[in-house]
Structure 1
Amino acid sequence: MLESDGDSAQSEGSSFSDDQDLKRELYKEVLLDKMKIKSVTKSKDAFTRYSVTTFSSILDSLNTSTEKSYRELWFRVTADFDKCFVPNKFVKWVANVVDYKSGNIVVDGKIILLIKESIHCVLGIPIGGNSFPSNTACGKEVVLNKFQKNSIPSVKFFANNLEKGEELSDEDVFICFIIVPLSSFLCPNSSITSSPKHFGIFADIARVKDFDRSGYVLDDWLLDSIKLFKKSKSSRVKDNRTLGGCLYYLAVIYLDFVDFGPRRLPNTLPHICVWKGNMIKTYSDLDMKNNGSYSFRPVLDLATLATQRTSIFVIQAHNM
């Protein structure tokens, strides 16, 4: 009898243990399912490999003299950039009010010109120069040979080369320094690798500074990306929509035209000197309507803005 009770107790204990294991497994499955659902939900707004963190980390890894040298050769943005969060919901709204046929933001009948001069005024990137090469094969081959690769490596590969401080030639550092900002901040896409379009300029590295960087960032990348983003809006597969390009610029150029009254920011050039930290989120929240959309505050037209500010961009745009 005692043995029978012992067996029974052992059986009950074993059953209890099995139940607990089963519950744990079920709990894990529920958690995994939630994570998958969350991941799918986030994918709708996770546009590209745009990453201010990646961009900032490579800037922090460069010494002052190197940064100054490459800034002068490539773009001013590196001198004044500070991590600045760009809300996905907000920048998606801005993209949706862009008329990609004219290449301008249109809100309540007001037009905000998306032109190369505004790229220069927001980011400090030089204006003018030759178009980026359409034939990228030669430039791609130069880069692959330099880094002994058979295919284009991930953006992280180039970032790591800069962050580790390994002994690289000046040309190698220069190539990495261009590829990382292009791929993570100025012209990102949805891939972990850089777009082959970025590599054409490396066919003759001595001439890299002769190319039209502002035109490439705006015309060849951002406006094309917005066009694809809006066209895919009617697609049945909406989860795969991606918004490429410099989301920072798109957010800032819109907010720069919004009438915030006494909260109006100084018109320092380039605007990247002003829009830092959480400022884009703070000001986009001030422009949010009760329904979660935006354009709560009026958009200033060029004539009005020109009387309030002395921005070179405003004067140039108004005279066009």
Structure 2
Amino acid sequence: MVEMLDKLTKSQEAIVRDLGLGPILALKCTDIPTPLVLLLATYYDPASRSVKLPNGASFRIDAITSHLVLGIPYGGIKVPTKSSNRAKAVILKDTNQSNQAAKLNDLMSMINRNLEGDKFARIFMLIVLGIFLCPSSSSRVSHRYYEAISVVSNIKTYDWSSAVADCMHNGILSFHSNTCKGNITGKATLSGCSSF
């Protein structure tokens, strides 16, 4: 992700800022220690949506925390998670797909100096959501956010902070469920933005 951000042109960076995601351009961290992420996930209390450390300290995994840490849009319209046929058609056309979601690696290779405008914005959002803000274990992008990114001028009006916090919460719930079934690493099911 950092490598991709470093290669963006000034006009592409301006588009990212217009999307309300300018702070992501400053991302420099290339590695999040997996043991730390897994440890914090084990201390997560789903009822309070907080990480409660053994020393009594705690912090919430919520929209405000997401906004403060990542600088992404907070408040506004709830991010739609069901896509219309129109939105699917727009994204499939942009990603050169006929009927299935694009692979993240294929999208990354589409980012070049010539990719501009709304198509760049949508491809960028698919990548950022798929590998940073709301990642999963799939190598393909999720169709979950197609509706929200199909009309580029609307992207900044959505409450991305809540969407990211909810994704993290659900990912940790899945991790907890998996560890209760005997998988102590939980690596296959821990998803969500580990940078926040």
Q: What TM-score, normalized to structure 2?
A: 0.88
Q: Structure 2 CA distance, aligned partners of 1:93 and 1:223?
A: 15
Q: Structure 2 CA distance, aligned partners of 1:205 and 1:69?
A: 10
Q: Does 1:248 align with 2:195?
A: yes
Match of 2:62 in 1: 115
Match of 2:77 in 1: 130
More helix by share: 1
Aligned residue for 2:21, secondary structure, equals coil
Match of 1:85 in 2: 31
Of 2, 16, 20, 1:74 maps to: 20
Task: Map 1:137-286 onto structure 2 (within 5 A).
Answer: 137-138=84-85, 139-150=87-98, 151-162=100-111, 164-165=112-113, 167-219=114-166, 221-236=167-182, 241-249=188-196
Whichever residue aligns with residue 245 of structure 1, its letter is: G
Q: Structure 2 CA distance, aligned partners of 1:204 and 1:83?
A: 30
Whichever residue aligns with residue 145 of structure 1, its letter is: K
Aligned residue for 1:129, secondary structure, equals coil
- Aligned-CA RMSD value: 1.9
Contact map agreement 1:67 1:78 (CA 8 A) in 2: no
Q: What TM-score, normalized to structure 1?
A: 0.56
> 195-204 vs 124-133, which deviates more?
195-204
Contact map agreement 1:76 1:123 (CA 8 A) in 2: no
Structure 1, residues 92-146: CA drift from partner, whole Å, max 9, x if none?
Answer: 0001101012111112333312222221221111211111113224322211023
Structure 1, residues 53-105: CA drift from partner, whole Å, max 9, x if none?
Answer: xx112212211232033223231332321134211111100011010121111
Q: Structure 2 CA distance, aligned partners of 1:80 and 1:206?
A: 23
Q: Structure 1 CA distance, aligned partners of 2:109 and 2:30?
A: 22
Q: Structure 1 CA distance, aligned partners of 2:80 and 2:107?
A: 21
Deviation of the 1:169 alpha carbon: 4.7
Q: Structure 2 CA distance, aligned partners of 1:110 and 1:168?
A: 45
Contact map agreement 1:140 1:202 (CA 8 A) in 2: no
Aligned residue for 1:149, secondary structure, equals coil
Contact map agreement 2:125 2:149 (CA 8 A) in 1: no
Q: Structure 2 CA distance, aligned partners of 1:169 and 1:199?
A: 19
What is the percent sequence identity of the aligned residues? 24
> 69-78 vs 99-108, which deviates more?
69-78
Whichever residue aligns with residue 100 of structure 1, its letter is: P
Contact map agreement 2:73 2:160 (CA 8 A) in 1: yes
Q: Structure 2 CA distance, aligned partners of 1:78 and 1:236?
A: 36
**C-alpha spacing 1:206/1:76, structure 2 compared with 1 (3 Å):** closer
Whichever residue aligns with residue 196 of structure 1, its letter is: H
Q: Structure 1 CA distance, aligned partners of 2:131 and 2:14?
A: 20
The total of aligned residue pairs comes to 192
Q: Structure 2 CA distance, aligned partners of 1:92 and 1:177?
A: 28
Contact map agreement 1:142 1:202 (CA 8 A) in 2: no
Which has the higher Rg, Structure 1 or Structure 2?
1
